[in-house]
Structure 1
């Protein structure tokens, strides 16, 4: 083995070997185990959330593969309709063209061309992360088989009356000219205004004051609402108000939606341009005064560009012509000015509000009344709720089922149509009378409905929401609607690993569609993980400049390149300077290269169920050191076992209590790790593995083993070499799902020496705990030895005695068991404790002035005479104590300062509190040492 561990020399080499040899492919034998990857966007690149999530899925996949299960981790990507179309539209804009210049068919060809050349970046990056997906089965949501499944589901739901076309309110992106899902809407707090407007009572007896943040939408008002119990206005119910600037009268109605404490307690109801108002309208639409309004009160005032529409076609001339063609914000200014001119503007006050914006276009989203395709969700939701209630699907952690229930029990029909070109075309055609025909092709429709060839039919221009095809992912990827062997074998899948933010958008819809078309849940368990945040707990975002690219952590990146990467292509260029400064402050040397295994182990160690992940590079650096520790331990083992008799011959082996102890601890750790992974406690698995390798195997057993290997006893040496290899080989298999590369590289060298012949660690069984090998007597004995040695080391540290200085130790107040342990383990105590002698004192025998450590009731005494300069040590301790006492008031003053507590971020306050606690703890220890030395 190379002297120094270099992840880059092994990682990509091993991945190519694994993939070339087909080790990731699902094997026919074994119990089925299947995970579906949440399909990343074809436009995407790997971010920390992906890397974290994919590490956990890969750990599960490798674990079950080694357990002998027929394991399938299904790969694939999502066509990401809007995102992909925008990418290609930006590209052709550089040619001074738009999609309409190409036409639909040629533009789609352009997207496919881009997808083949540039798409799938994330799948290449997944390979860098060691993801053992079955690439031979890779799917794409727009490939032929997936498209057939999407079409089939649409047609069947339509034929059952569960898909319909209707006019309803949607999130409208005024730049992209399409409806978008709630997940594609980002709400940002902004400084705005609240306008208080006077609506005159139609009876001439005064006016109501209505407060709104959107005065321009008043042109579409259908009512003014108050709370039913608001005594200020209840006597006016049944009255009408004059809608300013329009000449229309609208009713005053009562609805519990209104908050009497907000504004004036009078709310304008604009059902065609506000989702809450639309719900109010639904509750009151059967009232005669609402039905008497134009279009039943649903008055759309905007075009698809969010301009005031031209009302020339309206018989009622609902919109004053002077506003036609104005952008919504220009119309706002004009309307406010006109209200003011007519004495109808009461006041304007500053007001913070949440502004919804399209995550792709950045434009303010407009609730808009449009014709769209919908899925009638309630009949699908009922069995999906029951599946979780009766335990067919289990959420981990369990509390996330409450979020699921909350969404599902308040579910609305799902808008599935999008007004873009890239996506699954809706299989619907229209004739000139507006009749709708749904089918697999125009030819099928003509035959089914006896329509002649010259009967005009036009294909629907819209495509389906990306989430529609994603909802079919668990069974469409397995070949449905055909009854494939894979579908029969792997459906339902075993577990879905995903974030909480898409429980409704994806998880719930997969459950509904799976139950509908397979009659069975799509997965047995849903493991919900937290979000990856930075070390201060802040969400990672480009605008904050705290985004980390996992590939940068694997390969390393220099400071200047990191700065350029973070500020290039920013949507908020004005933040570039701040982000550059923050980057230079936090990464003055750039980012070191940590390798994939260290990054993966970090993710596993932080994966506590359901909690957000505070990602700190210091942890990754620590786990890179862990990789080095494992590498160096393996080198030591190899140096002492290569070309040696390692217990595989017929010659006898002698095993010490130390050997039995490490084997016992190995089996305990195997049991703990298996239990942790089975319960999705990756953090506990990582902790168990880390502590065993670093503390017990490396720091203790290797030191014990040196004594046996230097003993000159051939049988003892064979037993020790056998144990060294047995434990290391098992530990490598135990760790492989979390750190696949380093474990494979080392295992290839260790396995032959342990008598194992195989092509890859991936093909080996996962370790199984053997309770018969958990020797409790050996555990007690070695724990006693370690406690003894640690007691001696603690005294050395407290008394500032050089680690290599030989010591005379006295033992007093020991039991017969202690005496036996001392007799059996004297060589280990003397060698590892650097002891010149160990003497047993009777309990009544006087002892010299000594530093004392305890092992149970037994005292370890180290006589101090001649070991330390008492006065010099007291002087040193006094200096350290005084330094801490000087620092304490500064930190205490900060934390007692209300100005600091009120203004400082919670993370900063937390750090100061930790610092204060550490200083107080250190002060206490130093003063205790001072007392002990004074007593000598």
Structure 2
């Protein structure tokens, strides 16, 4: 007789999951095997994401870790579903941030960029980039990012620089890029224009000074926080319907200290309810004043240089703006022009995000993008469904921005970045040069000194990284990209720019089909994380302590679309406990012969417990798929957590243990179901927790890798409602018996004799042995006498459980313990009753405080009732 071949021996799992010993080697194995390398010539359907490029000088922070976890989960699932997945990584040259960092390093050597000159300075930046530029890319490997390392891009590399020059030339030729003098954000320390995203606003203490212009009934009072700018006033503005100033509109008033007379103009921008209802107009130093100046054809007088020093001839010339402010106020006070002064006066002030210098709005000749036609196309692409925004409520914010955009200042007075491809001739000629064109030469021709805003090149990222303007195989296969995942805080600054440029350059094809906007990371108290608060969390610390999987799972559990995420370290510890629970469950399954080498038996041959768990698994697969399509990562995580911990580990494994112990066909069927469910569960968890699931799955199945395993599909079997009802009945019965045992003072592992009466009436007769096993209840023997009983109501009837506790409980010790607990509960009850009975307290205390005490009273009363009931069941000592 031929012996049946034995199943191949699987490697054993270590007793504990130790991510630090496994993660790095496992990741490099994935990379070496080419799992993350995309094939543009594949006939699989494409799925593509371009990584929002972190700054080249950056390091991984919690915001990155959240966004990368989202993108990796999306990419891993699609790869398992049979898509050709490209997740393309890269970094941004981060113009002002990088230049500032290098200048700081030079300053420590006693050298400035001007000492080196432009060419040598740029060479130094490239050297610095080689030293630090790969840091964040290495940290991405720690997190498990499944990116295509063969396609790493950098916004200043040759291909992307060609893209930048190409689109600048195209926009210029189409009249969408122009040069004009307008108000910009200016940093006197960095000596450059800044984008709005490079300006941080804070409420600072300042002063509000009210100044009288003119004399007698022809005078008017204005209030300002920046008295020094009055040296450049060219008008006073009031609302056209403000009756207080009708007699002054069209007249002129004298600007104190200057001897100049300026008109009083009527403009609807003025709020008659703010201050005196009259405002000074300084077109060269305020964006709103500039617009008023444009509407009323007012001159613009610049009163400061690029360093913030006063340039107006007179007593204030050469003073720094913050020195000039009190000097101007003192001079006005001497003349009796100060009507009121308010100090401190808190108001919003812009600061350079790199050096914290107060921003100076300044009239400057710069390059601009005419955004109206580009923004109109970007709005239409979302309206007609080419691009879908998640969550949908943020689409309104998107429309509010794109439909109210001002032209975009794209020039920066830096040396590091894409230099503007424009040459100026001796006779005021302006020539824009494309990448395949020769620049003009000869005497008198000079190139524009400025570079482009970093957001200009990053706005091309979805198609420049795929090879545009060349018509590459990557571009044909992977554009439009499938998903953009990013924080909602850069919806305007980056997402809108990519939409505008992508639609413009790619003949109306959107840069991405879906935009997923997640929230910002906050601390456990809801405070924004920042260095100044000292409440930041380094994701690398979490990965060192808890592993990459626990870090990722913690972040994804809080990743509700558009909502901020509060983090605390104990949540990461909880996620680590989850990976430990999964590890131990798999070790148990392997130790009990979980089998994936044969197909499942027909459902009719399975037990209620096995059919129940398979139906739950089908429901889980369906829910996870639906929530992935809706970008509901928090719901995905919660569904997987609850199934794994609450249903699979806490119930199915315990019930399966009973069935396996019975032996025979039932045991073999249960081993197959156990292996099947665990196999599918590990597949579902893999996009969120790739490392631990990879180790467990390959050990369980002997498969090559979960990265390339097939994504599970629901079986389509009809749900067995009767099996579910019976198993839920068992769960309730076991839970109530365990609670009752605890109340009776039994130790968890202590066995007692007991009888289960009425199981037939509720259709649980076939599961009584499972109930006994899970509640440490032995069958009654001859002479059994119940000392306590419990009634458990179930659908269809009541089950009575009788237990013989004779000799099982130390009555003296139990009475002593319960009496101590009773005294504590009575003390709590009395304290709460005293506070709630005090009319003076309840009248003054906040409603939430009173409600909290009421809740404590109810809890104490319930505890007293429970303890008294327990004492009543104990025999006298």
* Residue number among 312, 322, 343 corresponding to 2:315 in the alignment: 322
Mark the CA change 1:478 to 1:443 in structure 2 (over 3 Å): closer, same or farther.
closer
Q: Is residue 2:604 matched to residue 1:665?
A: no
CA contact (8 A) 1:189 1:353 kept: yes
Q: Is residue 2:273 matched to residue 1:280?
A: no
Unaligned runs of 5+ in 2: 1-12
In the other structure, the counterpart of 2:626 is 675
Unaligned runs of 5+ in 1: 286-295, 310-318, 447-452, 556-592, 753-757, 840-846, 902-908
Q: Give runs of aligned pairs for residues 275-674 of structure 1, distance below 5 A.
A: 275-285=287-297, 296-309=298-311, 319-350=312-343, 351-440=345-434, 444-446=438-440, 453-518=441-506, 519-555=508-544, 593-641=545-593, 655-674=606-625
In the other structure, the counterpart of 1:789 is 734
CA contact (8 A) 1:198 1:208 kept: yes
Mark the CA change 1:719 to 1:474 in structure 2 (over 3 Å): closer, same or farther.
same
Shift, 1:786, TM fit: 1.5
Mark the CA change 1:665 to 1:480 in structure 2 (over 3 Å): closer, same or farther.
same
TM-score by length of 1: 0.86
CA distance in 1, matches of 2:454, 2:850: 48
Mark the CA change 1:161 to 1:866 in structure 2 (over 3 Å): closer, same or farther.
closer
CA distance in 2, matches of 1:605, 1:896: 41
Mark the CA change 1:865 to 1:649 in structure 2 (over 3 Å): closer, same or farther.
closer
Mark the CA change 1:275 to 1:924 in structure 2 (over 3 Å): closer, same or farther.
farther
CA distance in 2, matches of 1:149, 1:180: 23
Shift, 1:647, TM fit: 5.0
CA distance in 2, matches of 1:508, 1:113: 33
CA distance in 2, matches of 1:32, 1:913: 58
* Residue number among 768, 773, 789 corresponding to 1:826 in the alignment: 768
665-674 or 798-807, which deviates more: 798-807
* Residue number among 139, 143, 152 corresponding to 2:157 in the alignment: 143
SS at match of 1:772: coil
Mark the CA change 1:356 to 1:645 in structure 2 (over 3 Å): closer, same or farther.
closer
In the other structure, the counterpart of 2:128 is 114
In the other structure, the counterpart of 2:233 is 221
Shift, 1:803, TM fit: 3.0
Mark the CA change 1:205 to 1:545 in structure 2 (over 3 Å): closer, same or farther.
same
Shift, 1:654, TM fit: 6.3
CA contact (8 A) 1:533 1:612 kept: yes
In the other structure, the counterpart of 1:882 is 826
CA contact (8 A) 1:500 1:529 kept: yes
SS at match of 2:247: helix
SS at match of 2:220: strand
CA distance in 2, matches of 1:242, 1:50: 55
530-539 or 437-446, which deviates more: 437-446
CA distance in 2, matches of 1:265, 1:84: 44
What CA deviation, in whole Å up to 9, does each residue of 1:175-216 have, x standing for no partner? 111000111111111211111111114xx6452221111110
CA contact (8 A) 2:829 2:861 kept: no
CA contact (8 A) 2:788 2:805 kept: no
CA distance in 1, matches of 2:486, 2:45: 23
Q: Is residue 2:851 matched to residue 1:858?
A: no
Mark the CA change 1:103 to 1:918 in structure 2 (over 3 Å): closer, same or farther.
farther
Shift, 1:814, TM fit: 6.7
Shift, 1:299, TM fit: 1.0
Shift, 1:873, TM fit: 7.1
Shift, 1:731, TM fit: 1.1
SS at match of 1:710: helix
Q: Is residue 2:127 matched to residue 1:99?
A: no
TM-score by length of 2: 0.92
CA distance in 2, matches of 1:83, 1:481: 28
CA distance in 2, matches of 1:403, 1:229: 32
What CA deviation, in whole Å up to 9, does each residue of 1:82-111 have, x standing for no partner? 000111111111211011111111111111
What CA deviation, in whole Å up to 9, does each residue of 1:611-650 have, x standing for no partner? 11011212111110111111111112222328x9975899
In the other structure, the counterpart of 1:230 is 242
In the other structure, the counterpart of 2:167 is 153
In the other structure, the counterpart of 1:288 is none
Mark the CA change 1:646 to 1:401 in structure 2 (over 3 Å): closer, same or farther.
closer
In the other structure, the counterpart of 1:22 is 34
Q: Is residue 2:184 matched to residue 1:170?
A: yes
CA contact (8 A) 2:165 2:435 kept: no
Q: Is residue 2:150 matched to residue 1:132?
A: no
Mark the CA change 1:539 to 1:900 in structure 2 (over 3 Å): closer, same or farther.
farther
Q: Is residue 2:77 matched to residue 1:63?
A: yes
Shift, 1:254, TM fit: 1.8
Shift, 1:120, TM fit: 2.5
CA distance in 2, matches of 1:863, 1:9: 51
Shift, 1:358, TM fit: 0.3
In the other structure, the counterpart of 2:859 is 922
Q: Is residue 2:700 matched to residue 1:750?
A: yes
CA distance in 1, matches of 2:795, 2:817: 29
SS at match of 2:535: coil
CA distance in 1, matches of 2:670, 2:425: 85
Q: Is residue 2:222 matched to residue 1:210?
A: yes
CA contact (8 A) 1:791 1:860 kept: no
SS at match of 1:494: strand
In the other structure, the counterpart of 1:574 is none
Shift, 1:56, TM fit: 0.5
SS at match of 1:96: coil
CA contact (8 A) 2:596 2:701 kept: no
Shift, 1:428, TM fit: 0.2
* Residue number among 68, 82, 87 corresponding to 2:101 in the alignment: 87
SS at match of 2:47: strand
Shift, 1:390, TM fit: 1.7
Q: Give runs of aligned pairs for residues 40-79 of structure 1, distance below 5 A.
A: 40-79=54-93
Shift, 1:553, TM fit: 0.9
SS at match of 1:626: helix
* Residue number among 750, 759, 762 corresponding to 2:707 in the alignment: 762
Shift, 1:813, TM fit: 6.8
CA contact (8 A) 1:237 1:252 kept: yes
* Residue number among 634, 642, 664 corresponding to 1:691 in the alignment: 642
In the other structure, the counterpart of 2:678 is 728
Shift, 1:872, TM fit: 5.3
What CA deviation, in whole Å up to 9, does each residue of 1:322-356 have, x standing for no partner? 32221111221221121122222223212111111
Shift, 1:527, TM fit: 0.7
Mark the CA change 1:342 to 1:382 in structure 2 (over 3 Å): closer, same or farther.
same
Mark the CA change 1:474 to 1:866 in structure 2 (over 3 Å): closer, same or farther.
closer
CA contact (8 A) 2:842 2:850 kept: no
SS at match of 2:792: strand
CA distance in 2, matches of 1:425, 1:678: 42
CA distance in 2, matches of 1:745, 1:34: 27
CA distance in 2, matches of 1:634, 1:192: 63
CA distance in 1, matches of 2:37, 2:186: 43
SS at match of 2:271: coil
Mark the CA change 1:693 to 1:651 in structure 2 (over 3 Å): closer, same or farther.
closer
